[in-house]
Amino acid sequence: MAKIVMNVRTLGIQATGVQRYTREVVSRLAHEVDQISPRRPLHGVSGHVWEQAVLPLKLSDRLLWSPAGTGPWLVSRQVVTIHDLAALDHPEWFGSRFARWYRFLQPRLLATAERIITVSEFSRQRAAAYVPAAEERIVVIPLGIGAAFRPVEKDQVADVRRRLRLPDSYVLVVGSLQPRKNLRRLLAAWRRIEDRIPSDVVLAISGMRFDHLFGDPDLSPTPTRVRLLGYVDDVDLPALYTGALVFVYPSLYEGFGLPPLEAMACGTAVVSANAGSLPEVVGDAAVLVEPREIDSIAEGLVRALEEEPLRTRLHAAGLARAKEFTWERTAEATRRVLRLL
């Protein structure tokens, strides 16, 4: 029996950034921890009930690591990874039940957990703002990029484009369809520049809807040169990134922000919001825009599409930046935290 228990109840959910983090780190610590999850995937209230009432009974006084931003708040012998404080900072972006639960739970986890892992300096500061006494127990461990995210061959790109019915030239955005991803302003910016860019360039939006958590993303009416791709499997993402002329990420709030780094690792020029954690993640390897200003998003896109020397610089800078973030580093830093307790 391992001395550390890993709460992996979210692994049964289709992959977003939090699930990717959990999956990547658990694969590297698998021989050092016991993984515990419900017998079948549980969502919503049933998942939280299992986590609060059933999971504590299975610990036998062992250290618990909860990697997905939630955990049993009455268990103090716990390390919890809190990726962001969005539900506390902006409850209006979430369904009312979701927001109320996280506004109840996260401050209690910050107050009771032996250690809190956050994924950026931005998230560390936001966590400490809510529970100042937790500051000395917070450790920042950035996320990583999988080895699959690299420039891929042209035939792979063509195959993915064909299956997704995409033209040769497209601007890409990847992320769940929720208010903080700022897609309404992106679409407004796209409308403003349609007559300034080649007519064969489309905007491709890849991401799942979570209306039960975040409400309707309200993307209608969708401009004619926009393709809503829905969820794209991880195995196809490197080719999708590689084939894009530009990757754009106008998010209003991120605890970390994996997609811009993944795009950089695939050699794609990035236009990123200057909000939340994103400036510390992308560094000087992206065009930064003000996400609440439609004109700023529009001009950033035009620059990246029109200025070939800029795209060449961003290509080289992005590849170098992405190399700084690996899941091996994330797992090793996490291992050090868990072994200290």
For 154-322, which CATH class? alpha beta
The predicted structure's pLDDT at residue 214: 45
pLDDT class of 223 with cuts at 50, 70, 90: confident
Six token digits for residue 147:
């080895």
The predicted structure's pLDDT at residue 341: 77
Number of H helices, E strands in the chain: 14, 12
Q: Is the pLDDT of residue 286 over 80?
A: yes
Q: Is the pLDDT of residue 237 over 60?
A: yes
pLDDT class of 248 with cuts at 50, 70, 90: very high
Identity of the amino acid at 292: R
> What's the pLDDT tens digit per position in 321-338?
999 999 999 999 999 999
Residue 108: partners with Cβ closer than 8 Å, 6 or more residues away: 73
CATH of the domain spanning 4-144+326-339: 3.40.50.2000
The predicted structure's pLDDT at residue 212: 47
Task: Kindly list the domain boundaries of the chain, sorted by start residue.
Answer: 4-144+326-339, 154-322
The predicted structure's pLDDT at residue 15: 60
> What's the pLDDT tens digit per position in 293-307?
999 999 999 999 999
pTM for the complete prediction?
0.92
Intrachain domains 4-144+326-339 and 154-322 with the same fold:
yes
Greater pLDDT, 10 or 201: 201
Distance CA 31, CA 261 (A): 29
3-class SS of residue 168? coil
> What's the pLDDT tens digit per position in 39-81?
887 878 888 999 999 999 999 989 999 999 999 999 999 999 9
Greater pLDDT, 121 or 209: 121
The predicted structure's pLDDT at residue 47: 87
pLDDT class of 13 with cuts at 50, 70, 90: low
Distance CA 20, CA 113 (A): 23
The predicted structure's pLDDT at residue 45: 87
| Mean pLDDT value across the chain | 92
- What's the mean pLDDT in 256-281? 97
